[in-house]
Structure 1
Amino acid sequence: MEDEFRTFIKVWFSAIISISYCYYISTRIKAGVFRLLTVLPVCVLFLVLPLFFSSVHFSELTAFFLSWLANFKLILFCFDQGPLVPLPSNLPRFVCFTCFPIKPQQNPNPQNQIPKWFFAIKVAIFGALLHMYEYKQYMSPSVLLVLYSLHIYLELEFALMLVKVLVFITLGCDLEPQSNEPYLATSLQDFWGHRWNLMVPAILRPAVYTPVRRLAKRIMNSDQALFLGVLATFLVSGAVHELIFFYMTREMPTGEVTWFFVLHGVCTATEVAVKRTSLVQRWWRVSPIVSRLLTVGFVVVTSGWLFFPPLIRSCMIERLANEAFLFIDFVKHKLFTLR
């Protein structure tokens, strides 16, 4: 564990140096292809850095934060688009807003804030969930599927919350929430666009959806262009998830994860098109409880069909749980030593 932490420090120190270079050099070059050329070596480095880890958590989070989000942010920045525009006021802000899935909060709304005790409940659920793996052999496939879904959701929630707290301490500014209780989603559009991992759609919209839809509108009607834009966005998301799964498992992609996102892209685009018809808007009203059950149920079932199998075959879910226990024991040992 200590060797892995040393690697973690070296990798992220390299990332901070690289982003500092972008701040001091690339920002002084006019937006366009020449700025992109100065940023490309950093993007290549960020694709390599997750390979230095043997820990699933460190390789997964580094791939998510740097290989995916930071690279997309920097490429968008080269053309004066994305979350890094306007340019953050100082280097620490530029580093944080590049490295992490965060952005400053523009119009805070206290009514939308989740009570702090609710987060404590999630921690308790996660602790119980980890211990449930000891009885995995007695569980049905349906129960295991729910267990895996909760595990992925809670781990991502805790990682993003930890980042948010650390950045808040460092920068002292309010940050937008990174997710919005995705289990309350009433549609696929609501789930992917407004509740789950909000930095991802904030980047994919200007990077993929908007340019694809704009180009498609030149040769097809608006509805067809919208469908193509949504499908292209999910296709890119699937390809990047395949890359992240490769960093985690070190096995060649099977395409299942890409098909998961293609399926959701088709369903989401179809859902959006259906909602836009006047007949549906006038007559079709579904209870929020029913729509939430259908939406979350569809996500969980299709995840069990296409998303989780590569992780299950490579025992990644169990490794995530084991690493969580190792981290807890490591922290306990350090705290005992300090006493």
Structure 2
Amino acid sequence: MDEELKNFIKVWVSATILISYCYYISARIKAGVFRLLSVLPVCVLFLVFPLFFSSVHFSGSIAFFLSWLANFKLILFSFDQGPLSPLPLTISRFICFTCFPIKPLQNPKSQDQLPKWVFAIKVAMFGALLHMYEYKQYMSPSVLLVLYSLHIYLELEFALMLVKVLVFITLGCDLEPQSNEPYLATSLQDFWGHRWNLMVPAILRPAVYTPVQRLAKRIMNSDQALFLGVFATFLVSGAVHELIFFYIARDMPTGEVTWFFVLHGVCTAAEVAVKKQKFVRRWWRVSPMVSRLLTVGFVVVTSGWLFLPPLIRSGMVVRLANEALMPIDFFNRELFYYAES
């Protein structure tokens, strides 16, 4: 673990230097191909950095923050698009907005956040979940699958919240939420576009969806172009998830994760197309409670079918749980040591 921490520090120092180069050098190059060529070496290094780690948390976080988000942001930045355009006024903002899934709050009145006590409930749930792992040998595979799914969701929620707090302290500006209670989604479009991991659709929209849709409109009608844009966006997301899983597990991709996103891409595009029909809007009415159950149920079932099995087979989920328990075990040992002495 000491070696992992040293590599973690080295990687983030290197990333800071590389992003500073983009801010001071690449930003002075006219937007276009030449600026893209200047940032491509940085993108290649960001693809290599996760390979320095064996920990699920370290390799996963570096892969998510740098190999995925930062690379996409820098590619968009090459063409004066995305979260880094217009260019942030300070280097500290440029580094934070490049590395982390954050952006400044644009319209505070538009945010519809649940009360703060909801977060306290999530913390209590996570504590109870860690305690339940002590009895996992008595649990059925289905129950463990639910626990692992909840663990992944809560850890991601806490990690993004920690990043938001630290960056808020550093920059002193209000930031948009990274997620918006995805379990309240009333449709797949609502889940993927407005509630789950919001920085990802904010990047994939200008990077994949918009250019694919524009090109498709030249040879097909608008509905077909929309379907192709949505499909391409989910396909790219699936490929990137396969890459992240490779960084963490070091196993060759099986394609299941990509099929998960392809399935959701097709279903989301079909959902959007159906909603555009006038007779559907006029006659089809579903209560929010029913639509939430159907949406979340579909996400959970398809996750258990395609998304989670590769994680479980590789032992990644078990390693994730064990690493989460390490600080608790360390605290208990220290407490026992001081009690004995």
Task: Say whether 1:182 aligns with 2:190.
Answer: no
Deviation at 1:112, TM superposition (A): 1.9
1:87-236 alignment, distance < 5 Å: 87-109=87-109, 112-236=112-236
User: Aligned residues, how many?
Assistant: 337
1:270 matches 2:270: yes
- For structure 1, which segment, 326-335 or 294-303, has the greater mean C-alpha deviation from structure 2 after superposition? 326-335
Per the alignment, do residues 51 and 85 of structure 1 end up closer, same or farther by CA in structure 2, a change over 3 Å counting? Answer: same
Q: Deviation of residue 325 (structure 1)? A: 1.4
**Amino acid in structure 2 at the alignment position of 1:10:** K
What is the distance in 2 between the residues matched to 1:16 and 1:257?
Answer: 31
The Cα shift of 1:313 comes to 0.4
Structure 1 position 3, deviation (Å): 2.3
How does 1:1-339 map onto structure 2 within 5 Å? Answer: 1-109=1-109, 112-330=112-330
For structure 2, the 5+ residue unaligned runs are: none
Q: How far apart, CA to CA, are the structure 1 residues paired with 2:258 and 2:162? A: 29
Letter in 2 for 1:282: R
How far apart are residue 111 of structure 1 and its match? 6.6
Q: What SS is found at the alignment partner of 1:112?
A: coil
Give 1:130 shift: 1.7
Q: Is the 8 A contact 1:11 1:49 kept in 2?
A: yes
Alignment-mate amino acid for residue 47 of structure 1: L
Bigger shift: 103-112 or 81-90? Answer: 103-112
Aligned-pair identity in percent equals 84
Shift of 1:331: 6.7
Mapped partners of 1:55, 1:142: distance in 2: 26
Structure 1 unaligned segments of length 5 or more: list them: none
* Alpha-carbon distance in structure 1 between the residues aligned to 2:258 and 2:78: 27
- Distance change in 2, residues 1:80/1:332 (3 Å): farther
SS of the counterpart of 2:173?
Answer: coil
Q: Partners in 2 of 1:297 and 1:116 — Cα distance?
A: 26
Q: Distance in 2 between matches of 1:110 and 1:77?
A: 26
When residues 307 and 95 of structure 1 are mapped into structure 2, their CA distance, relative to the original with a 3 A threshold, is same
Root-mean-square deviation (CA, aligned residues, Å) is 1.7
The amino acid across from 1:266 in the alignment is V
Counterpart contact for 1:103–1:176, Cα < 8 Å: yes
The offset of 1:149, in angstroms, is 1.7
Q: Deviations over 1:223-249 (max 9, x none)?
A: 000000000000000000000000110
Q: 2: CA distance between counterparts of 1:6 and 1:327?
A: 18
Change (3 A) 1:331 1:49: farther
Pairwise CA distance, 1:115: 2.2
Listed one character per residue, the Cα deviations across residues 28-86 of structure 1 (whole Å, up to 9, x for unaligned) are: 00000000111000000000001111110010011000000000000000001000001
**Secondary structure at 1:180's aligned position in 2?**
coil
Deviation at 1:334, TM superposition (A): 8.8
Deviations 1:205-258 (A, max 9, x none): 000000000000110011000000000000000000000000110011000000
Shift of 1:329: 4.4
Do the aligned residues in 1 keep the contact of 2:113 with 2:180 (CA within 8 Å)? no
Q: Which amino acid aligns with 2:287?
A: S
1:127-180 deviation digits (Å, cap 9, x = unpaired): 111222232233334322321221111010000000000000100000000000
Quick one: distance in 2 between partners of 1:312 and 1:268?
Answer: 26
C-alpha distance in structure 2 between counterparts of 1:303 and 1:87, whole Å: 38
- How far, CA to CA, are the matches of 1:43 and 1:111 in structure 2? 33
What SS does structure 2 have at the residue aligned with 1:308?
A: helix
Q: Decide whether the 8 Å contact of 1:145 with 1:300 is kept in 2.
A: no
CA spacing shift, 1:93–1:334, aligned 2, 3 Å: farther
TM-score (norm 1): 0.96
* Counterpart amino acid of residue 68 in structure 2: W
Query: How much does 1:25 deviate?
Result: 0.3
| Distance change >3 Å, CA 108–CA 334, structure 1 → 2 | farther
SS of the residue 2:51 aligns to: helix
Structure 1 residues 142 and 47, CA gap change in structure 2 (3 angstroms) = same
